[in-house]
Structure 1
Amino acid sequence: MTDLNQSVLKFQEAVQLTPDGHPDKPSRLNNLGRSLLARFERLGDMTDLNQSVLKSQEAVQLTPDGHPDKPSRLNSLGCSLLTRFDRLGDMTDLNQSVLKFQEAEQLTPDGHPSKRLRLNNLGILLLRQFERLGDMTDLNQSIFKFQEAVQLTPDGHPDKPSLLNNLGNPLLRRFEQLGDMTDLNQSVLKFQETVQLTPDGHPDKPSWLNNLGSSLLARFEQLGDMTDLNLSVLKFQEAVQLTPDGHPCKPPWLYNFGSSLIKRFLELRLSDDMVNAVWAYSSATYAEYGPPSVRLRAAQKWAMCLQASSSPPESILDIYHIAIPLLAETAWLGSSIPDRHYQIMQAGSVVHDAAAAAHQFGDDIQAVEWLEQGRSVIWGQILQLRTPIDDLQEKQPNLSQRLKLNSLQLEEAASPRDIFINTITVQGSIQPSVPSKEEIASHGHHLAVERKQILKEIRMCEGFERFLLPRTIRELTPAASHCPIVILNSSKVYDTCYAVVLLPNLPDDVLPVKLDSFTPRQAKVLYHKLQTLLGEDGQTISSWNSESVSGTGADSQGFKVILAELWEGVVRPVLEALALMDSSPRVKPRLCWCPTGIFSFLPLHAAGLYYADASPGSKLSDFVISSYIPTLSVLVDRVSPLPPPGSLKLLAIAQSSSIGQPKLRGTFDEIKYINAAVEQSRPLTLMTLVEEKATLGNVLSELKTATWVHFACHGVQNASHPTESALLLAGKDRLTLGMLTSLKITHGGLAFLSACQTAKGDEKLSDEAVHLGGGMLAIGFGGVIATMWSVHDQVAPQVARDVYQYLKESGMDVSEAAHALHLAVENTKKNMQGEDDAAFISWVPFIHMGM
């Protein structure tokens, strides 16, 4: 490091001493940019990386067109921009990097010795851009550039293997996209050539063996040729054997080796394959020098192997004790936000499986702790909420920086190395040699030891004793101080559904409830039935009316079947366990639902028997008033008390027309009902933003001081990017979930989202229903009224009218919001004509969340 620091200082001094206009100024700026990039790669200081980009930009700007060094300086700038993209995930950096490499390649004449290398670099960038944007043009161009680079490289050249390997990667990706076997066969051939041309002892040989194994495994899955599968196992095995312990790439290759063995076990049922797969997965899991995301996936597979082979439950629980903290590390540390989202989605079911294993072992306290850890991690990550890492950065910045750098170094060391070949030679510039496998392994061991020490130091600090560890049951049970909380979980691996209840009078324990007659498959079937009833993706209902829905037949029974199965299989067993089957109390008790996974998408609050011959007392609403919460922490962490009745500012927003959406004719009625309800409730400030006044700027400004808020407008869900889910305001303005979670409401009361899809989540994030309603809880509102799908325009104003009328009678007490919605929905049900699906679609979507 001393030499590197001296190099940076000398280049800085050279730049400072070179006057503007001097012909050597661009060269010296370029050298400084490269040295800063090299230091960033060692220390991870973003100041170095940002300065590297700036100095490289200056070098390019000062280099005249036609200058022979312009392509090399564009190449250097492209490298700095790409490195910053890898760290921060800003697409602007990736786009600019691609442009710089394209310009560098175009300015390099045919026959120039660097032409093939510039083609290679551009191919890598285009492949990166495809991975982010999914544009097939980028993938096709990437293949074309790599093919050109290979053709320009003579046989026997030391760069030939790396170029062939780089060509094999996009060919495999294009096969995965289009299914063309020609691409897959060509990918296998290119990887085979790469391996054959690479001498033993080359540091990249294990990586290229791993790539060959992946392509062979993909071809086996298409053609079923056992020769391909056997060769795949062999190549993965070679990659593992050639890689010393401590090398951060070894865990990913162990994971791939285990996966190929499981494939062969399923074909031949050879017990040795299962034994070796368990060894591979367990070795990857225990490898503390590996990336947390890989270790997490390996632990999941290891546990599944043991479960399938009927291993003792305690041995499986030991695996999950390692896995669950890794989920937090994957979500909060390391790569850019989009990468972390993808990794979480890949491993999302591990939380459900871990909790189910604990439940089956009889440790329901552990099940609750694990479920809450997983749900809070994913919820916070997707909504980009404040995390323990943020708290650490604020209170222990030195430890925070050390941990972040350690995590990034582990992940980067384990990433397949892009071969950016650069023949630029500048006197005095840094040309680091490729480290040996043994050197990389030694560094990996060092990083693992350093990580343990950093975590130990963090957990010795006040307030961070359980840093990255699950909250204990004693920390979680205060969430149930107002009413019982029912946590619902399912696991396909364990083929089980069950409930665990937190009770106000049970501070250190929980009540498990078996749901023996309800299965994960049944939950999935009900979910798909519901989606079919609501239309494609549950999004077309906003344009329906009761006549068009009931056109499916007056005897339509879809909703009745769904709600009956939820009643019989899930809700009634919970009520019986809690002794809540008495429908006589004048004031019904509250019951809070905390559904996970597939349960998050089912209307539990409406469960019951709605057939004509059903006996009284056969619906959930006959016995309790239901609310939902996304996590226990959303109640535990609420530090601001609910606002006292009367001392509030209510912000009411109405937007009847939105581009691409049907007109909402009832929004003005909602504002009228709010006025009528609150006109005698003093002291009270009512602020209305209607139509063209409901701009994003006005809404954000007023939200900061609002205690209550009412949105009468369209809402849209973005399943691919949940934080882009939005409430539609004036013109093209959108109030996104990401904008909401950047706010913090002090003493927040009720948020009423009388809009479509404000409580509909993302199925791909199977552990969470991430939605606008939950976002309102996250920013500080104590209670939320939202809808699970689009609501009929004529129904929403009626529900709003009744809710505010009941709240007016309670003195505008937000803690009565759940009761007010319960009464309003009951009133709506009575006024509905008919009992077909159209009637259910009208009232079922309304839900209360929070306190």
Structure 2
Amino acid sequence: MGCHDNYQRIGAETDLELAIQQYQQALEATPEDHPKRAHRLQSLGIGYRDRYQRTGAEKDLELAIQQFQQALKATPEDHPDRARRLESLGIGYSDRYERTGAETDLELAIQQFQQALEATPEDHLDRAYRLYSLGMGYRVRYERTGAETDLELAIQQFQQALEATPEDHPDRAGWLQSLGIGYRDRYQRTGAETDLELAIQQYQQALEATPINHPDRNTWLHFLGMGCHDNYQRIGAETDLELAIQQYQQALEATPEDHPHRAGRLESLGIGYRYRYQRTGAETDLALAIQQYDGALRHPSSPVLDRLRPGVHLLKLHAEAGNWSSAHQIACILTSMIAQLTPHSLDVSDKQYLLAEFSGLASDAAAATLIAGETPYEALQLLELGRGVIMGSINEMRADISNLLQQHPLLGEEYIKLRDQINAPTRHLDQLGIRTVIAHHVNQRYSANQKLDVIMQTIRSLPGFDRFLMAPSEDEFKVAATLGPIVIINISTFRCDALIVEKHEIHAIPLPYLKKSDIQVREAALARPEALDSQLLEWLWEAIANPVLNALGLMRIPDGSLPRIWWILTGPLAKFPIHAAGYHYQGSDTVLDRAISSYSSSVRALLQSRQRRSPPVVERGSRKAVLVGMEKTPGLKDLPFVPLEMDKLGCLYGLLNLQICQPAPCREDVLSALNDCIIFHFAGHGETDQQDPAKSSLILDDGPLAVADLFETNLHNRKPFLAYLSACGTGQIKHDALIDEALHLIAAYQIAGFRHVIGTLWEVNDKTCVDAATILYSCVQERNMTDASVSEGLHRASIKLREIWISENTTRAANRMAILPDEDSPMTTKPVRSYQGEERDSRTAELYEELPLNWVPYVHFGM
């Protein structure tokens, strides 16, 4: 205990190492049933936790949590030390949340803290510690969710902890500091000047109460610097900025070189210098800012999140300065770290939360790479590493490892065991609310992920397995384009390009008429019905499609069968229908007339889909088609054409020799029916969740069938052929920061195992859905259910529906010319645009309005 106390007083690492050795020896000498064993487990856990805080070694954190769990288990319910052990375990979970971002750890931590506080008498000396710990739990949850009630609860706990602590108590500085954090958070939320003043006051008092050589002093200095920086941003006083830089500098000097908080200290100092550069224009300040950011990015002991944030600042600074070679180097480091940010053990919701902060990073990295003169392949690699991370992770966990099992069966079986532990569903456990079960499950997944990383390194060291589950090589990218070119449209503030993968080369063409700012303006307009018109399609042709098709040599309508193109759209462009680009009133200047279009979220997803390729079994009765038709959906408008769609498909499925299954439109029944189907067709309502894409869903009688449900459904061994989602917005994402993750229903059915998925980009017309599905399935039947029949079928449907659209619009234009022959402006065959959602009398609507683009929203994802 003496060595540990000395470490906590002055921070000497040798004292901590001696303490851990002594705790370990004492524990080894203690029998399992000894009454002091729990105390010794607790002490060893605290030692490991302190070493984790000092070095950032994850192994120490896991050891600490293990000791805390064992200590709590060995402590009776009525033992006076039980509250302390609950609190320690909560601190372990809280540390792991800060390290990994797993929200379940945060909730477990808060539960432990609450129980610890409830078990602590009002007049107990340790009550202030319990109040502080619970306050920190609430504060961190506020940081995650933005719930104002959590912030107010945090401030209350901090205030009570301070009031329960004597003026001369050595821990009082920590409570002052935490209260200052609460006030600063509230200032940032409300802008109340008094809260900022109170925050700075608490920080100063905490610093004054802390000895010069105390290990926490660097933290107090850092927060005081942030308070001064906030004050500078509020009133612009140069003295506040200078004070902030001074505090940041002192905090950095007091932080050991290998400390896990060092990246955060470097980032803050870099921000200070950058603000001073913006104020004065002094190049030395810019150089200093770059130096701090670079040091933070490359600091190995700090958490990945604390390194990525300054790295993004650094990338932008190099870009602004035109240092593209340096920007490229930083881009490579950043994208390689994204996978570390989102380990397999994290839930999808946690990955979404972490990745949203770095939206557009991969596209900026790819653009910087091209500007730096590097190869298109290198730019494509960065896009593949930094986009579609969640889908890529799920696909990786479902990859075919038959070669590994055949050549190294023991290693393959261990890999499968760990993979299954990580893939075990968590959503139903959360619904049960059984804390001990959830905690065990979370610990198991975390441990399995660490072991899996080691196993994968071992596998990659074996002959022939050096690229096991790695990003595709250049040759593999080219193989993906065997059936037709893959066109990736990269959108960045730096510049926009088309990366084109063909079977013989990977090349890039700049798109000078495409600007991210223009796309964002048009993206905002997509929410308005009048924006969805032929002018939008013409803009897509001029800015993107025409240059790409020219580069591919598709400058005119080809003789014979049309070539295939797979489109991968990045950033806000992912909401746009590039397959429908063109001048449709004039004939051949359209994508639709020159190629058959399909989409993919990434090249890697396309490759993985093709690797699982096998012909569907279609003998009569051997496989089934699952039909779910929702003419009436609780709480939503009726869809009167759904019965007609079901009747027509029933006839076509008979021609395809498929057994028809129509389960009850309930979540469990539909999921069960999917297990042995070859085709799944849903006609009804779809819903896109703006805040959480994983909750986007098809609406059934008993509620949603969500994206997240499909993530936990694995049909790859069954190899289902087609999922047709005849509903609104099944390929839509409204959460702009997660647009590159492609977490929509179409992708979810691909992840589940369907080789082809038909979906929609926005709202669709009930009657048009019948026509589109009928034409597509007729082609599938005619072409004997080949892979190409799906994309060709949708293409035929689009052509036919477009012909009707053009014909009806042309008729409207002719009627207008007949009724209004004397108008000043000559009438062309192209109707005048107007707001399709605005109510007008029928005569005016007939004359002026262009019909909705009902043929455009349908898209194909797959092979």
TM-score (norm 2): 0.80
Between the aligned partners of 1:665 and 1:51, the Cα distance in structure 2 is 62
Q: Are 1:473 and 2:474 matched, yes or no? A: yes
The answer to whether the Cα contact below 8 Å between 2:263 and 2:295 also exists between their aligned partners in 1 is: yes
Report SS of the residue matched to 1:752: strand
Report percent identity of matched pairs.
28
Aligned-partner residue type, residue 299 of structure 1: G
Among 732, 743, 755, the residue aligned to 2:703:
732
Between the aligned partners of 2:592 and 2:637, the Cα distance in structure 1 is 32
Between the aligned partners of 2:71 and 2:100, the Cα distance in structure 1 is 19
Between the aligned partners of 1:483 and 1:605, the Cα distance in structure 2 is 15
Query: Which residue of 1 is the match for residue 640 of structure 2?
Result: 665
Deviations 1:262-311 (A, max 9, x none): 12211211111101011111212222233233333333322322222222
Deviations 1:72-103 (A, max 9, x none): 45545644665676688776664464355345
Q: Are 1:279 and 2:286 matched, yes or no? A: no
Report SS of the residue matched to 2:852: helix
Q: Are 1:223 and 2:197 matched, yes or no? A: no
Deviation of 1:456 (Å): 7.7
Between the aligned partners of 2:714 and 2:262, the Cα distance in structure 1 is 43
Between the aligned partners of 2:648 and 2:212, the Cα distance in structure 1 is 79
Report SS of the residue matched to 1:609: coil
The answer to whether the Cα contact below 8 Å between 1:56 and 1:76 also exists between their aligned partners in 2 is: no
Q: Are 1:356 and 2:360 matched, yes or no? A: no
Report SS of the residue matched to 1:296: helix
Deviations 1:237-281 (A, max 9, x none): 222222232222112211221122112211211111101011111
Q: Are 1:565 and 2:539 matched, yes or no? A: yes
1:106-145 equivalences under 5 Å are 106=118, 108-145=120-157
Between the aligned partners of 1:306 and 1:732, the Cα distance in structure 2 is 49
Query: Which residue of 2 is the match for residue 631 of structure 1?
Result: 602
The answer to whether the Cα contact below 8 Å between 1:802 and 1:820 also exists between their aligned partners in 2 is: yes
Q: Are 1:784 and 2:757 matched, yes or no? A: yes
Distance change in 2, residues 1:359/1:244 (3 Å): same
Between the aligned partners of 1:512 and 1:272, the Cα distance in structure 2 is 37
Deviation of 1:463 (Å): 5.8
Aligned-partner residue type, residue 730 of structure 2: T
Deviation of 1:356 (Å): 0.6
The answer to whether the Cα contact below 8 Å between 1:89 and 1:337 also exists between their aligned partners in 2 is: no
1:37-116 equivalences under 5 Å are 43=59, 49=65, 52-53=68-69, 56=72, 59=75, 62-63=77-78, 71-72=83-84, 74-76=86-88, 78-79=90-91, 82=94, 94-95=106-107, 97-106=109-118, 108-116=120-128
Among 179, 182, 191, the residue aligned to 1:167:
179
Distance change in 2, residues 1:796/1:140 (3 Å): same
Between the aligned partners of 2:190 and 2:396, the Cα distance in structure 1 is 34
The answer to whether the Cα contact below 8 Å between 1:168 and 1:187 also exists between their aligned partners in 2 is: yes
Aligned-partner residue type, residue 466 of structure 2: E
Among 210, 230, 234, the residue aligned to 1:198:
210
Between the aligned partners of 1:87 and 1:323, the Cα distance in structure 2 is 18
Distance change in 2, residues 1:43/1:723 (3 Å): same
After superposing the two structures, state which structure 1 stretch, 569-578 or 644-653, moved more.
644-653
Report SS of the residue matched to 2:319: helix
Aligned-partner residue type, residue 518 of structure 1: L
Query: Which residue of 2 is the match for residue 822 of structure 1?
Result: 795
Q: Are 1:581 and 2:527 matched, yes or no? A: no
The answer to whether the Cα contact below 8 Å between 1:37 and 1:80 also exists between their aligned partners in 2 is: no
1:369-768 equivalences under 5 Å are 369-381=381-393, 386=398, 395=411, 459-462=460-463, 465-466=466-467, 470-492=471-493, 494=494, 496-504=495-503, 506=504, 509-533=505-529, 559-583=533-557, 585-610=559-584, 614-638=585-609, 639-644=611-616, 646-647=618-619, 648-682=623-657, 684-689=658-663, 693-745=664-716, 746-761=718-733, 762-768=735-741
Aligned-partner residue type, residue 777 of structure 1: Q
Deviations 1:796-844 (A, max 9, x none): 1221122112222222334211111111122223334446675334222
Deviation of 1:384 (Å): 9.2
The answer to whether the Cα contact below 8 Å between 1:143 and 1:167 also exists between their aligned partners in 2 is: yes
The answer to whether the Cα contact below 8 Å between 1:380 and 1:387 also exists between their aligned partners in 2 is: no
Between the aligned partners of 1:528 and 1:135, the Cα distance in structure 2 is 28
Gaps of 5+ in 2: 1-19, 53-57, 419-451, 810-830, 837-850
Report SS of the residue matched to 1:781: coil
Report SS of the residue matched to 1:679: helix
Gaps of 5+ in 1: 16-23, 403-450, 534-555
Aligned-partner residue type, residue 336 of structure 2: P
After superposing the two structures, state which structure 1 stretch, 746-755 or 372-381, moved more.
372-381
Between the aligned partners of 2:413 and 2:271, the Cα distance in structure 1 is 40
Deviation of 1:748 (Å): 2.7
Distance change in 2, residues 1:381/1:268 (3 Å): farther
Distance change in 2, residues 1:180/1:694 (3 Å): same
Between the aligned partners of 2:484 and 2:562, the Cα distance in structure 1 is 12
After superposing the two structures, state which structure 1 stretch, 463-472 or 673-682, moved more.
463-472
Q: Are 1:367 and 2:383 matched, yes or no? A: no
The answer to whether the Cα contact below 8 Å between 1:737 and 1:771 also exists between their aligned partners in 2 is: no
Query: Which residue of 2 is the match for residue 250 of structure 1?
Result: 262
Q: Are 1:310 and 2:322 matched, yes or no? A: yes
Report SS of the residue matched to 1:811: coil
Between the aligned partners of 1:107 and 1:162, the Cα distance in structure 2 is 22
Between the aligned partners of 1:181 and 1:382, the Cα distance in structure 2 is 46
Deviation of 1:383 (Å): 8.4
Q: How many residues align?
A: 755
The answer to whether the Cα contact below 8 Å between 2:41 and 2:70 also exists between their aligned partners in 1 is: no
Aligned-partner residue type, residue 503 of structure 1: E
Distance change in 2, residues 1:562/1:222 (3 Å): farther
The answer to whether the Cα contact below 8 Å between 1:821 and 1:848 also exists between their aligned partners in 2 is: yes
Query: Which residue of 1 is the match for residue 819 of structure 2?
Result: none
Deviation of 1:336 (Å): 7.1
Among 18, 21, 32, the residue aligned to 1:13:
32
Q: Are 1:184 and 2:196 matched, yes or no? A: yes
Between the aligned partners of 2:543 and 2:69, the Cα distance in structure 1 is 60
The answer to whether the Cα contact below 8 Å between 1:172 and 1:215 also exists between their aligned partners in 2 is: yes
The answer to whether the Cα contact below 8 Å between 1:600 and 1:768 also exists between their aligned partners in 2 is: no
Deviations 1:718-756 (A, max 9, x none): 243322222222322534334345313332311111112
The answer to whether the Cα contact below 8 Å between 1:71 and 1:108 also exists between their aligned partners in 2 is: yes
After superposing the two structures, state which structure 1 stretch, 345-354 or 628-637, moved more.
345-354
Between the aligned partners of 1:818 and 1:48, the Cα distance in structure 2 is 55
Between the aligned partners of 2:794 and 2:520, the Cα distance in structure 1 is 28
The answer to whether the Cα contact below 8 Å between 2:687 and 2:728 also exists between their aligned partners in 1 is: yes
Report SS of the residue matched to 1:765: helix
The answer to whether the Cα contact below 8 Å between 1:205 and 1:239 also exists between their aligned partners in 2 is: yes
Name the Cα RMSD after superposition.
Answer: 3.7
Between the aligned partners of 1:467 and 1:221, the Cα distance in structure 2 is 49
Aligned-partner residue type, residue 523 of structure 1: I
Between the aligned partners of 1:475 and 1:198, the Cα distance in structure 2 is 59
The answer to whether the Cα contact below 8 Å between 2:48 and 2:63 also exists between their aligned partners in 1 is: no
Query: Which residue of 2 is the match for residue 805 of structure 1?
Result: 778
Distance change in 2, residues 1:324/1:597 (3 Å): same
Between the aligned partners of 1:127 and 1:519, the Cα distance in structure 2 is 40
